[in-house]
A and B are shown apart, each in its own frame.
Chain A
């Protein structure tokens, strides 16, 4: 560093203070303006990226909330459903409903002939159509013998075509939907036999390999059970730890060590907790793989440090005068904490836990190790059923080749983001309404 030469110092002293200040004033103002504009640029860049990301996801994902249906005239032929005419439930259950769907499709396009042509025609409706008819008969056996116009789920390629995501000008070999299929779809559209309805399957169905039948309910319920376990475990333990460390524990080297370790744990990559979960909960306690119980345990290990740190911060923000007043009135230390300090710190603690839970909701890496990155069709009904969670579902869908999963992936991201915004919004409301400032 350059030290001022002894001769320069007295010269500076002789100068008028005002001129020095005035000389530097413009520079200082300019520096301030620069700093502000940097800040503005940083914020607007951040906002721009957020807006871009949201616009991209919403633009890709919103068509997934509608699903194409085809109206097919189905005749519930007793000769197919109940050939013996004795209404045997087992026979009705296992009847060839696919034949009814095929007959219905042929009825709409009687001119179509030949094996390949017919196969292309049948491919317009989803494979779920068969099960849909089965369900209807199961609910209402009186339908046997009647003829009905039924809205059946269209296949994913038809859905993509109707939504305009397939370029019709391309060569036939380069698109998944063929010229004759486009012709049929256009004809159906002209006669109003194709309709887009709200996609209830997306919210009521489990995972499926057929895009049009895939839903996020399984993943949502998995996330719910996992977070439930996480909250039930990490909140009480986290609060108890924070209270003990802040209010009761002596300040010595041991508590310092514990504090350093808790802060470290908060920064450990989440996959490490997955490995720990695999070793302890699955291999040692032999809990089932892929269960929300184990997922919740692993995620609570991850959220605990966050809750403890937030809880301690909330406790320290309660002014010491409250404690002293309680103790002065003859309250025991436990009463002081339980009756006065904890209620005042609770909004801060809840805010911290909700933010920790929001992080746990978006976590997928630690769940790979414990088997929650899985294809699970049945919606989980409890904490021991195999389940997956929302971020994992997004990851799995994004990796599938079918084009129609692209929009569903984005739709699932939108649902996840909505939950994140809800949780963080709740945290802000709690803080605004209940937090007291001294």
Chain B
């Protein structure tokens, strides 16, 4: 039948075009990775596309882990050149990379992202400590006195700390697949639990067990997984003034008329406090570049220059307006110098 011939012809075309594409060079930079870094990399990509003779890079939002999977797939035009990450590359990921021939990787720290705990403006702000947050969210906590682990009994904030309001503990946060959740666990939960002698002892006896106790978030409804979309959490906070929400600083900055950031350990989350490192819950953001692609895909070097320029990541750069917290001056200069000389990570 004619149709079957057509189908065969089509199939043949795919194979041929596919092979042809694999050989031909790609003329734009391909970026994959973290959805947290996505708003920043896209801004740089757009500026780069407008201000240079190169095409605008393509930026995919795949999540940090998914990004590294693609990035470490190998060397060649069908693999991405740059990977965004809201955490440093893991050893296991470096190994995967090396196995597939991606041995030279340039790491660029682009700045910081604060993670805020916020509530609706309709409620009175709370002064939280990392310890309070851990007590409110951990699945098991040591009983006062005996130090034996027991399921978290707290229902209201007042039970944890008499100075806090008597409202129900209700925290909206990102799901485990999110980089923000990883960072929150690492920066808040891991530190909060270390304030208890019982956990410190447990750590000496059984490190793995202690880690699980520290990092496991309760599942009895006090912590609500609200999805990856931070705008949605902001909307839910407005609708429910008793709830707290965990999300990135840029969303707080953009919604200051609706929500307020709670102080943590006495420090309010704002631009200056995060930049100074006073605010305890902030994490560095990175981009990773495949050195083998520099010179093969046009514009990678220039893209790095744009990304590390004062115009972008400086104190008054355009990424600052998008909510990225710049690195301190000295570190920024160092990062820029290393990046532009394509200094690779030690394997």
Interface of A toward B, CB cutoff 8 Å: 131, 166-167, 170, 173-176, 208-210, 233, 236-237, 240, 281-282, 285-290, 293, 297, 368, 371, 373-378, 384, 386, 396, 398-403, 406
Q: Are A377 and B61 in contact (CB under 8 A)?
A: no
The reply to whether the CB of B230 lies closer than 8 angstroms to some CB of chain A is yes
**Chain B residues whose CB sits within 8 angstroms of the CB of A384 once the complex forms:** 17, 21
A386 to B55 alpha-carbon distance, docked (Å):
12
B256 sits at the interface (CB 8 A) = yes
What is the CB-to-nearest-CB distance from B274 to chain A, in angstroms, rounded to a whole number?
Answer: 15
Question: A282 — which chain B residues lie within 8 A by C-beta?
Answer: 78
B239 interface contact, C-beta 8 A: no
| B48-74 at interface with A (beta carbon < 8 Å) | 49-50, 55-56, 58-62
Residues in A neighbouring B10, C-beta threshold 8 A = 233
Tell me, rounded to whole Å, the shortest Cβ–Cβ distance linking B323 to chain A: 6
In the assembled complex, B45 has its CB within 8 A of some CB on chain A: yes
Among A236, A285, A400, point to the contact of B14 (Cβ < 8 A): A285
Other-chain contact of A174, B39, B248, B257, B323 (Cβ < 8 Å): B257
Pick the contact of B45: A167, A237, A377 (CB < 8 A): A377
How many Å from the CB of B63 to the closest CB on chain A? 9
B254-A402 in contact (CB<8A): yes
How far apart sit A327 and B39, CA to CA, in the bound complex (Å)?
65
Residues of A within 8 A of B49 (CB): 377-378
Q: Is there contact, CB below 8 Å, between A401 and B6?
A: no
Docked pose: A282 CA to B49 CA in angstroms: 26
Compute how far the CA of A166 lies from the CA of B254 in the bound complex, rounded to whole angstroms.
11
Say yes or no: B257 contacts A398, CB within 8 Å: no
A401 touches B251 (CB 8 A): yes
User: B21, A375: Cβ atoms under 8 Å?
Assistant: no
Q: When the two chains form the complex, which single residue of B17, B21, B62 contacts A368, counting CB atoms closer than 8 Å?
A: B62
> Does B182 sit within 8 A of A, measured CB to CB?
no
User: Smallest distance from the beta carbon of A247 to chain B beta carbons, Å?
Assistant: 13
B322 contacts A209, CB within 8 Å? yes
- Are B256 and A373 within 8 A (Cβ)? no
Q: How far is the CA of A386 from the CA of B28 in the complex (A)?
A: 10
- Contact status A286-B22, CB under 8 Å: yes
* Size bracket of the B interface: 35 or more
Query: Which residues in B have their C-beta under 8 angstroms from that of A131?
Result: 50
B154-182 toward A: CB 8 Å interface, digit per residue (1/0)?
A: 00000000000000000000000000000
Is A401 within 8 A of B257, CB to CB? no
A285 near B15 (CB under 8 angstroms)?
A: yes
List the 8 shortest-distance A-B pairs measured between CB atoms, nearest first.
A375-B59, A377-B56, A285-B18, A374-B60, A375-B42, A401-B254, A286-B22, A209-B43
* Besides A167-B257, A403-B254, 11 new A-B residue pairs in contact (Cβ under 8 A), listed by A number: A173-B256, A176-B254, A236-B6, A287-B17, A371-B32, A377-B56, A386-B58, A396-B61, A401-B230, A401-B231, A401-B323
B61 touches A287 (CB 8 A): no
Cα distance A406–B21 when bound, in Å? 38
**Closest B residue to A284 using CB positions:** B18
B3 on the A face (CB < 8 A): yes
Tell me if A401 and B46 are in contact (CB < 8 A).
Answer: no
Given the complex, which residues of A lie within 8 Å of B255, measured CB to CB?
401, 403
- A205 to nearest B CB, angstroms? 11
Q: B19 near A: Cβ within 8 Å?
A: yes
B83 at the interface (CB under 8 A from A): no
A285-B14, A287-B14, A401-B39 known; A374+B21 contact, CB < 8 A: no
Which residue of B is nearest A334, CB measured?
B1
Q: CB distance A290 to B60 under 8 Å? A: yes
B254 touches A378 (CB 8 A): no
Give every chain A residue within 8 A of B7 (Cβ-Cβ): 236-237
- Whether B58 and A376, one on each chain, are in contact in the complex, defined by CB atoms closer than 8 angstroms, is yes
Q: A236-B6, A287-B21 are contacts. A374–B59 as well, Cβ < 8 Å?
A: yes
Q: A233-B10, A285-B14, A374-B61 are in contact. Are A175 and B256 (CB under 8 A)?
A: yes
Instruction: State how many angstroms separate the Cβ of A42 from the closest Cβ of chain B.
Output: 27
Whole-angstrom distance from the CB of B28 to the nearest CB of chain A? 7
